[in-house]
Amino acid sequence: MSSPATLQVCRECGGGAPVDVHFCPQCSKILTLGRHGDYFAFLGLPRKLGIDAEDLEQRFRGLSRQFHPDYFYNATPAERRASLERSSYLNDAYRTLKQPMTRIEYLLQVEGLAPTSPQEASRQVPPALLEEVFALNEELDEIRDLRAGGAPPEIWKSRLERARGPIETKRVAHEAKLQELSARWDALVDSGASVGDRRAANEALEALRDRFLERNYITNLLAGIERELSQ
Amino acid sequence: MSRVVGIDLGTTNSLVAYVKDGVPHVIRDRSGDGLVPSIVSVAEKGTIHVGREAQRRLLTDAERTVYSVKRFMGKGAEEVRGEARHLPFRISGDAGPGGVVRIGLGDREFTPPEISALILRELKHRAEAFFAAEGDIDPDVDRAVITVPAYFNDAQRTATRDAGRIAGLEVLRIINEPTAASLAYGLDKRHTGLIAVYDLGGGTFDISILRVEDGVFQVLSTNGDTHLGGDDIDVLLMDRVLQDVGADLGRPGTGAEQAPPLRTPEAVQEIRKAVIQTKWDLSELDEAEIRVGQYRKRITRSEFESMIRPLVDRTLAPCRQALADAGLAAAQVDEVVLVGGSTRIPLVRRAVAELFGRTPHSELNPDEVVALGAAVQADILISGSREMLLLDVTPLSLGIETMGGVMSKIIMRNSTIPATGSEMFTSGVDNQTAVDIHVLQGERELVGDNRSLARFKLRGIPPMPAGMPRVQVQFQIDANGILSVSARELRTEVEQTIEVKPSYGLTDEEVERMLLDSFEHAEADFEARLLIEARNEAETVIQATEKSLRAPAFSEIDKAELAPGEREKIESVLSGLKLVLNATDRETIQKWTTALNDATRHLAEVMMNRSVSAALSGKNVNEV
């Protein structure tokens, strides 16, 4: 017998059901989205960062076929509501887990390591990037001066392109590193250490978080250069 | 069991379709015509005409006739000011931001959803007549799936749903036109893979990229322009004609002075009709002629193409954006499907072929495929069949206004719907119990560049020190792409009240009132309605005939152009029709109406030709 915390209650028949099932085991009605697992559990996936794209698509399509409001048009209002809630949650889960970067962000969040708000995270310059950011800002100031002084676009645009080079290289390196760290996390999950050995788990997650925040900072820098280029 | 249908509520034409034994069919009138022109005309006595008859009245009573109303759905009065340039009907609106557009026809005013409701009602009747003729015991049609352009925003979708309700239809679902087309297309093809649907209609352009697998039609991305279509091509050609005859296209003067004849709305509509014919001809021929009255202008296809090139090019950027959003290169798309009448234009086909590097499919009728798909979707909803499933996306990002007039996005564009998003709010001062929230839709950074959807006031926040309340506002986009909002204070678990004031649109009470106002509601007897329609039609023909006979130029025409005995024949059929007008036998009335139509056909041609050539040469019609 599982503890009550792992149960959700069917509003149709009052029966109990494990949190990760979508239909009541007793009356087989769709369950309202009360207590539920995280995106990984909802899709029936382990909490790992390596996700096979085609497998995810199949799970998404399969669950869509079970929940979608189209199939509950003639059902009771409670079932229609449950179908809308489960479909919305499924779509949000699918969208989040589809991209490797949003997947990492979500994992950090459910493991309790996410910054309180994304704005907070992007405001301060990660220490590892101080040098690059300083150099880039100087370069951008000079380019803006050039532009204000009426320099032809070819001149300042090529300088912008050059300035982008090292940042772009950093981004590629960071994403490669994130992949490596993701594999490390997945190995911990496979060995049971992600739950059994919290110290090892936290170490892996903190490394992921730091690289992830740096990588976000880098993409913001690149977006800033893009904006300058389109002026 | 009453019937369900799928409706394509188009800018230019509308259609209704249904599914029989798993196969969708367009419902046609007795002459085999499936298209109902999306035109509504209010005759002097208040009789409302929809479709072909309203289209005819564009040439005789333009100021009381409205077309392309879809362009005004969900729009604010101040947004459509520039739109009035070439339209014969009056557009006004409630002053101030958020004012609803009003269309004046004669002494009555209508909102765009009411006009659309009249078109929907016509389609409903067409379907009911069809089912009744099939021997159906319960031919009532009270539920429908209605299509909208994929790029329609929340306000435009809501306006469409309101139109359905005003017409007495339960709107089962609002679905996107390109997606509907893909359903109809995928039905007999049983294909899997990546499909691009390019939909260029009368007033709107959409591009959708879909993945079709295991019977699931999953939209990956969509983009478009709700203000680009065949109408814009017509205006280009109309401007060309008017340039030739030395005047610009515009509404008649609003002051006391008489409008110059060229600018009479009827003359403008005569020109519009002619250039549309020329546009069609140029899809088949290398050269065609614009003919309005005595005016003739030859135009080659290559001239035409260089005129419309900028419009066609405007469809390409949305295509590239949709591909980028789907993470695909053009070459990865397996098939391209063309939808919408404007995709008959060879230049459009070439541009699409070039962009995607493959010949697009055009074997399905581009005018009908959307309605067929809507019927399929209606059938899925009602029958409970799980063979196919449509997963669509929201075309525009949803967000709220934050500090500094910046939009903060909560649900990103191209998210599969239904979708949710939430945002935390708190108070700025002690014991604050309400927060204002401004909901927006669009992709731009600044609030002012995006579309305002609604302003909410969150009330009932428990009094607490500033910054203490944690109010979670939940945004839900349903499977129709329509937004709803709920809110909860997390510390106290208090559910908040939300007052919704849609930025542009009708309140529930207004929709309710319009529904009660509609004459349709009280009218149960279908045969009685047909009889009224037959009488209206007869009256229209009688009036037009009498007007012609009274015209100053008539005696001259009678002498010079009518055959001996032609006038007498007209007069005798006219008095015959007047005699049977109040009969209760619909068929007799129709028989005599047809007879009078036939008798006056030649006269009408002569008169129309004279009035148009007079208009184009700058003379007042009455001087002829």
- CATH code for the domain of A76: 1.10.287.110
User: Residue B391 and residue A68: Cβ atoms within 8 Å?
Assistant: yes
Q: Does B326 touch chain A (CB under 8 A)?
A: no
**pLDDT number for residue B248:** 43
Reported as a single tens digit per residue, the pLDDT across B526-544 is: 566 677 778 878 888 888 8
Instruction: Compare all CA atoms of chain B with the CA of A84 and give the residue at the minimum distance.
Output: B418
**pLDDT number for residue B560:** 85
Q: Does B402 touch chain A (CB under 8 A)?
A: no
Angstroms from B420 CA to nearest CA on chain A? 6
Q: For residue B575, how far is the Cα from the chain centroid?
A: 40
- How many beta-carbon contacts under 8 Å exist across A and B? 56
Say if residue A126 is in the same domain as residue A82: no
> Given a cut of 60, is residue B517 above it in pLDDT?
no
> Given a cut of 70, is residue B619 above it in pLDDT?
no
Reported as a single tens digit per residue, the pLDDT across B51-95 is: 998 998 988 888 899 999 999 998 887 777 666 566 778 887 765
Task: Give the model's confidence band at B245: pLDDT under 50 very low, under 70 low, under 90 confident, else very high.
Answer: confident
Reported as a single tens digit per residue, the pLDDT across B533-579 is: 788 788 888 888 888 888 888 888 888 888 888 999 999 999 999 88
Say if residue A19 is in the same domain as residue A83: yes
The whole-angstrom separation of Cα B202 and Cα B232 is 8
Lowest-pLDDT choice from A27-36, B160-169, B429-438: A27-36
Say if residue A154 is in the same domain as residue A70: no
User: Residue B391 and residue A95: Cβ atoms within 8 Å?
Assistant: no
Say if residue A75 is in the same domain as residue A13: yes
**pLDDT number for residue B501:** 62
**pLDDT number for residue A20:** 79
Reported as a single tens digit per residue, the pLDDT across B461-481 is: 888 888 888 888 888 898 988
Bridge-partner residues for B361, per DSSP? Answer: B337
- Of all helices (H) and strands (E), which one includes residue B17? strand B13-20
**pLDDT number for residue B312:** 96
What count of Cα atoms within 13 Å lies in the side-chain half-sphere of residue B552?
A: 6
SS3 assignment, position B76: strand
Measured between beta carbons, the chain B residues lying within 8 angstroms of A91 are: 415-419
DSSP 8-state assignment for residue B96:
S
**pLDDT number for residue A158:** 83
| A81 falls within a domain | yes
| String of DSSP letters for B312-329 | HHTTHHHHHHHHHHTT--
How much is the mean pLDDT over chain B? 85
The whole-angstrom separation of Cα B26 and Cα B368 is 7
Measured between beta carbons, the chain A residues lying within 8 angstroms of B389 are: 64-65, 68, 70-71
Identity of the residue in A88, A94, A95 whose CB atom sits nearest the CB atom of B476: A88
The whole-angstrom separation of Cα B56 and Cα B50 is 10
User: Residue A84 and residue B418: Cβ atoms within 8 Å?
Assistant: yes
Say if residue A40 is in the same domain as residue A85: yes
Identity of the residue in B381, B415, B478 whose CB atom sits nearest the CB atom of A73: B381
Say if residue A24 is in the same domain as residue A85: yes
User: Residue A89 and residue B420: Cβ atoms within 8 Å?
Assistant: yes
> Given a cut of 90, is residue B497 above it in pLDDT?
no
| A16 falls within a domain | yes
* Catalytic site includes residue B8: yes
User: Residue A95 and residue B416: Cβ atoms within 8 Å?
Assistant: yes
* Catalytic site includes residue B281: no
**pLDDT number for residue B563:** 87
Say if residue A122 is in the same domain as residue A92: no
Here the tokens at position B621 are: 């019609």
Say if residue A34 is in the same domain as residue A76: yes
Query: Distance of CA A23 to CAs A88, B136, B173, B391, B574, Å?
Result: 16, 39, 25, 21, 71
Say if residue A81 is in the same domain as residue A184: no
Closest-CA residue to B370 (of B191, B182, B208, B601):
B182
Question: B39-76 burial by CB neighbour count: b if 16+ within 10 A, else e?
Answer: bbbbbeeebbbbbebbbbbbbbbbbbbbbbbbbbbbbb
Reported as a single tens digit per residue, the pLDDT across A206-215 is: 999 989 988 8
Lowest-pLDDT choice from B45-59, B168-182, B249-263, B376-390: B249-263
* Catalytic site includes residue B199: yes
Here the tokens at position A41 are: 């559990």
User: Residue A61 and residue B476: Cβ atoms within 8 Å?
Assistant: no
Q: Does B219 touch chain A (CB under 8 A)?
A: no
Please tell me which of B131-135, B299-303, B422-426 the model is most confident about, judged by mean pLDDT.
Answer: B299-303
Q: Max CA-CA distance within chain B?
A: 95
Question: Under an 8 Å CB criterion, which residues of A touch B?
Answer: 57, 61, 64-65, 68-71, 73-74, 84, 87-89, 91-92, 94-95
User: How many domains would you assign to chain A?
Assistant: 2
B270, B308 contact by CB (below 8 A)? no
Angstroms from B93 CA to nearest CA on chain A? 37
| A108 falls within a domain | no
Say if residue A92 is in the same domain as residue A27: yes
Residues 6 or more apart whose CB falls under 8 angstroms from that of B155 comprise B74, B75, B451, B453, B502, B503, B504, B505
**pLDDT number for residue B262:** 57
**pLDDT number for residue B260:** 47
% of chain B beyond a pLDDT of 90: 42
Reported as a single tens digit per residue, the pLDDT across B409-443 is: 899 999 999 999 988 888 888 888 888 888 888 88
**pLDDT number for residue B524:** 44
**pLDDT number for residue A115:** 65
* Catalytic site includes residue B177: yes
Instruction: Compare all CA atoms of chain B with the CA of A116 and give the residue at the minimum distance.
Output: B424
% of chain A beyond a pLDDT of 70: 93
> Given a cut of 50, is residue B523 above it in pLDDT?
no
Say if residue A42 is in the same domain as residue A89: yes
| A111 falls within a domain | no
> Given a cut of 60, is residue B305 above it in pLDDT?
yes
* Interface probe, candidates A59, A88, A105, chain B, greatest B C-beta count within 10 A: A88
| A103 falls within a domain | no
Q: Looking at A98, A133, A162, which one is the last position of a domain?
A: A98
Torsion sign (Cα): B596, B599, B600, B605: positive
The whole-angstrom separation of Cα B482 and Cα B53 is 34
Closest-CA residue to B320 (of B312, B332, B330, B310):
B330
- Long-range own/partner contacts, residues B41-50 (CB < 8 A, 24 or more apart): B41/B65, B41/B66, B41/B105, B42/B105, B42/B106, B42/B108, B43/B536, B43/B539, B43/B540, B44/B106, B45/B539, B46/B106, B46/B108, B47/B536, B47/B539, B48/B118, B49/B536, B49/B540, B50/B118, B50/B119, B50/B121, B50/B122
- Long-range own/partner contacts, residues B213-218 (CB < 8 A, 24 or more apart): B213/A57, B213/A61, B214/A61, B215/B387, B215/B388, B215/B389, B216/A61, B216/A64, B216/A65, B216/B388, B216/B389, B216/B391, B217/B179, B217/B182, B217/B183, B217/B186, B217/B388, B217/B389, B217/B390, B217/B391, B218/A61, B218/B391, B218/B416
> Given a cut of 50, is residue A21 above it in pLDDT?
yes
Q: pTM of the entire structure?
A: 0.80
Bridge-partner residues for B421, per DSSP? Answer: B475
What is the predicted ipTM?
A: 0.84
A63, A21 contact by CB (below 8 A)? no
Measured between beta carbons, the chain A residues lying within 8 angstroms of B377 are: 70
User: Residue B213 and residue A61: Cβ atoms within 8 Å?
Assistant: yes
Q: Does B474 touch chain A (CB under 8 A)?
A: no
- Of all helices (H) and strands (E), which one includes residue B211? strand B205-213
| A79 falls within a domain | yes
| A201 falls within a domain | yes
**pLDDT number for residue A74:** 84
**pLDDT number for residue B247:** 52
One-letter identity of residue B332: Q
Instruction: Compare all CA atoms of chain A with the CA of B327 and give the residue at the minimum distance.
Output: A99
Identity of the residue in A61, A87, A89 whose CB atom sits nearest the CB atom of B214: A61
Say if residue A152 is in the same domain as residue A212: yes
Query: Distance of CA B29 to CAs B95, B114, B291, Å?
Result: 42, 24, 30
> Given a cut of 80, is residue B132 above it in pLDDT?
yes
Catalytic residue among B53, B122, B162, B177: B177
> Given a cut of 50, is residue B257 above it in pLDDT?
no
Q: Which residues form the domain of A200?
A: 118-229
Go through chain A and tell me how many residues it has: 231
**pLDDT number for residue B581:** 83
User: Residue B389 and residue A68: Cβ atoms within 8 Å?
Assistant: yes
Reading phi first (left if > 0) and then psi (alpha if -120 to 50, else beta), residue B481 is in left
Reported as a single tens digit per residue, the pLDDT across B3-57 is: 899 999 999 999 999 999 889 999 998 888 899 999 999 888 778 889 998 998 9
Query: Distance of CA A169 to CAs A159, A166, B603, Å?
Result: 16, 5, 80
**pLDDT number for residue A139:** 83
Catalytic residue among B122, B128, B154, B199: B199
* Interface probe, candidates B173, B381, B422, chain A, greatest A C-beta count within 10 A: B381
Identity of the residue in A61, A71, A95 whose CB atom sits nearest the CB atom of B415: A95
User: Residue B478 and residue A65: Cβ atoms within 8 Å?
Assistant: no
| A189 falls within a domain | yes
